[in-house]
Amino acid sequence: MFFKRKPITLCRACRENAKLAVVGKVSPTHPGPFHTSEFELIHCPRCDSVYLSPAPTDDDLRVLYEESVQFADDHYTSEEQVERILDYYRGAVRHRRLLPGSQARVLEVGAGYAWVSRASKDSDSSCHTVAQDVSGECAEKCDWVDQYHVGSLDTLPTDEKFDLASMTHVIEHLVDPEAMLGAISRRLKPGGKLFVTAPYRPTGWKPNMGIDAWKNYSYLHVPAHVTYFSRKWFDQVAPRHGMQVVHWDARHEDGQAFELVLQRRS
């Protein structure tokens, strides 16, 4: 199967010129009055990322995140699921050495139920946790968060620097992920870490395989998931904002999701 190649143009993900390829057409998987029902997945060979085109508009994002309920089902609330989630994040905090010591400052971006904040508190109760989300759906449900800010990150009223920041299943939702990396990097202390989890791609998918695997991919959320990233993308983009990859693992969920740690250079 061959891609439909486009003329050399600017990749929206890495902002470099490349011969982009159309993986195939996809339809909305979420109900809503979106600005279009015609989307394509685009692959960039320069950064090996796949992204949705066209990108969702501000109105689309408002429908998805501010005018809908996201965290009400058992996937987020059952006791068994909560324990599974926390067990994973506690392990990540410990095994990836995300906290530098006592009195650590933790910033969770797009926090939802603020699992990383909770796992950090479980690991060291002396850490100070700040959670941010554009939706207030979970703001009153996370008593392990010292400060829960509802609004965009740039409206968070603090100049403090953090030892750890996290985006867990958040970066794929962003229309301008590089801008968010820069904004977070500026809030990290030298040597501070950014922990990221996100969808990767369908199990075993390669750029010459076309669209079929994507249509059965559990993480194909249209238009909510804007970009499916690669290690190559982070290696290209993170250094522009003073960060580097120190951990990458794309084996999660049979290769369908990845875990990443970026570190701000001293």
Is the N-terminal amide bond of 190 cis, ω within 30° of 0?
A: no
Task: Read off the pLDDT of residues 151-204 as tens digits, 9 standing for 90 and up.
Answer: 999 999 888 999 999 999 999 999 999 999 999 999 999 999 999 999 999 999
For residue 56, is pLDDT > 90? yes
Is the N-terminal amide bond of 7 cis, ω within 30° of 0?
A: no
Whether the CB-CB separation of 226 and 55 falls below 8 Å is answered with yes
Which class for 46: exposed (0-12), middle (13-18), buried (19 or more C-beta within 10 A)? middle
Task: Read off the pLDDT of residues 92-113 as tens digits, 9 standing for 90 and up.
Answer: 999 999 999 899 999 999 999 9
- Indicate the residue type of 247: H
* Domains assigned to the chain: 4-264 (3.40.50.150)
| The pLDDT value given to residue 67 | 74
For residue 1, is pLDDT > 60? no
| The pLDDT value given to residue 70 | 66
Tokens of 223: 């238009």
C-alpha R_g of the chain: 18
For residue 74, is pLDDT > 70? no
More confident residue, 31 or 213: 213
Whole-angstrom Cα distance, residue 259 to residue 67? 29
Q: Percent of the chain scored above 90 by pLDDT?
A: 87
More confident residue, 146 or 158: 146
For residue 21, is pLDDT > 70? yes
* Count of H-run helices and E-run strands, the chain: 8, 14
| The pLDDT value given to residue 53 | 98
The size of the chain, in residues, is 266
pTM: 0.93
Of 231, 197, 199, 189, which Cα lies nearest the Cα of 99?
Answer: 189
Q: How confident is the model at residue 17 (pLDDT cuts 50, 70, 90)?
A: very high
- Indicate the residue type of 52: L
Whether the CB-CB separation of 227 and 206 falls below 8 Å is answered with no
